[in-house]
Structure 1
Amino acid sequence: MPSNRFYLNGPLITGNEAILTSHEHHHLKNVIRKSVGSSVELINGKNMLATALISHIERNKTLLTVQSVETQKPHYPPFHLVLGLSHLSKVHIALEKCTELGVSHFTLVPMDLSKKNFIGPKDQVRCHQTIIGALKQCGRLDLPSLEILPNLDALKIPSHIDSVFFGDPRKPLNTLPSAQEKNILFFIGPDSGFSDEEYTLLEKQYSAKGVKLHQNILRFETAAIISTMLFLK
């Protein structure tokens, strides 16, 4: 785990000043207690890794000077995970673990059997923070995007997606696609699964193929993790 890595929502340019505020500043100043002159790593979620020296630590911000910047390509093809809204503690587990495993885009959407149908502004911020924390912890440099929709009908399949699947416990176990599938979008239902109407919508409107992930019925967060592992192995 990179212990001295911090996220900056902005450009990383050699020789320029960088400023950490809010959570990142608090973590640097009060948790790991870095001092002026210390070297740290900066990432911005855009496949860039910078080294920087701390020049000033103030009450509400940390100022740094960027020393060097390198760019790396993502390790995985695009994998878009659509998650039926569930209890937020489970959503955070799915966001954290699937960020570590390589998901490139998350969509959260309330579904017919969701027990929660709304994510407030503060919870949206916490979801973003969970993804950023996992990004820093796992060492990847590309920040997954997060989209929150009001309902399933509002989802538009991105043009770069080649194949669409959904978790379907009704199918036989041998329905997993071949390892040749790339640029995938995968639907995971909430804890209670998809409704009959949603099964029809997925198959007809989105031309999605149902696959059974495991011989047992999986919890929401487990299904998210297993689907990511199977398709990004």
Structure 2
Amino acid sequence: MPATPAWPPKSAPRLFVEQKLEAETQVMIDGQQAHYLSKVMRVREGDIVILCDNITGEWAARVGDAGKRSVRLEIAEHLRPRESVPDLWLCPALLKKDRFDLVLEKATELGAARIQPVITRRCVADKLNLDRARTITTEAAEQCARTALPELASPIKLEALLRDWPTDRALFFADEQGSESMDEAFAENKGAAAILIGPEGGFDDEERAAIRAHPLARPLSLGPRILRGETAAITALSVWMARNGDW
């Protein structure tokens, strides 16, 4: 007997859409997403596209009409609900554009619930194009089959971050002067948490003292080597997810 085709097809393209998805409704795709479907993926009438709305989860949709500038999709089946996201924030200091792009991409893949960029004194950048950053996180979520997007906040200065820090969230921060290991510290934490990562040149002495003085802050060692900002973010996220996340 011939093998039963996989449902949905593994080759089906994936897209996040802003419209809340429901059974037996239609979705009109235009702009860059329409170009991607019609010109890159070359979808035709009857083909399947996987849609996510960051609210209700993942749906299979059938192409009703594929034009040059728009694609009409008909919702066919609800495949799975929006995933449960571990309550972890990543608070990375802004880095050079290509390196911060990597942080955004990998934080999304690893399952961060919120990304809060931070501006410190040694940051080489003090601005972030949020539209571009959201495109990076959305494409990363599509590529790794997530059904949820991380919340992406506007950059904030370190002083404001510490001043307004919520009283119910642990604040772990990577510190080359830290002595407590990530593995041990994360194992003890069972509630809401965040990881603060410094810039290329690290925190200066005054910033480090301010962080250490915060009642919820815990300085952690990332091991015997000095890591780049993007490497430190990816490493810390990976260890936390292995200990307390959905791994």
Q: Secondary structure at the match of 1:179?
A: helix
CA RMSD between the two structures: 2.0
1:16-56 per-residue CA deviation (whole Å, 9 max, x = no partner) reads 11122223222111111111221111011235000101112
Report the Cα offset of residue 206 of structure 1.
5.9
Please list, as runs of the form range in 1=range in 2, the aligned pairs for 1:149-160 lying within 5 A after superposition: 149-155=155-161, 156-158=164-166
CA contact (8 A) 1:2 1:137 kept: no
CA contact (8 A) 1:46 1:143 kept: no
Name the amino acid aligned to 2:165.
I
Which residue number in structure 1 is paired with residue 53 of structure 2? 44
Name the amino acid aligned to 2:179.
P
CA contact (8 A) 1:2 1:136 kept: no
Change (3 A) 1:210 1:3: farther
One of 161, 173, 190 as aligned partner of 1:166: 173
Over 6 Å off, 4+ runs: none
- Distance in 2 (CA, whole Å) between partners of 1:48 and 1:2 is 19
TM-score (norm 1): 0.90
Aligned length: 229
The answer to whether the aligner puts 1:22 opposite 2:8 as a matched pair is no
Q: Secondary structure at the match of 1:177?
A: helix
Report the Cα offset of residue 93 of structure 1.
0.6
The answer to whether the aligner puts 1:66 opposite 2:72 as a matched pair is no
- Distance in 1 (CA, whole Å) between partners of 2:180 and 2:218 is 13
Structure 1: tracts of 5 or more residues without a match: none
1:46-70 per-residue CA deviation (whole Å, 9 max, x = no partner) reads 3500010111223332111111224
Aligned identity (percent) is 24
1:176-226 per-residue CA deviation (whole Å, 9 max, x = no partner) reads 404242321110011111112221222234631100112100001100100
1:135-164 per-residue CA deviation (whole Å, 9 max, x = no partner) reads 0111121110111124123333346x5311
Which residue number in structure 2 is paired with residue 177 of structure 1? 185
CA contact (8 A) 1:7 1:24 kept: no
Please list, as runs of the form range in 1=range in 2, the aligned pairs for 1:1-233 lying within 5 A after superposition: 3-46=12-55, 48-72=57-81, 74-119=83-128, 123-155=129-161, 156-158=164-166, 161-172=168-179, 174=181, 176-181=184-189, 182-205=191-214, 207-233=216-242
Bigger radius of gyration:
2
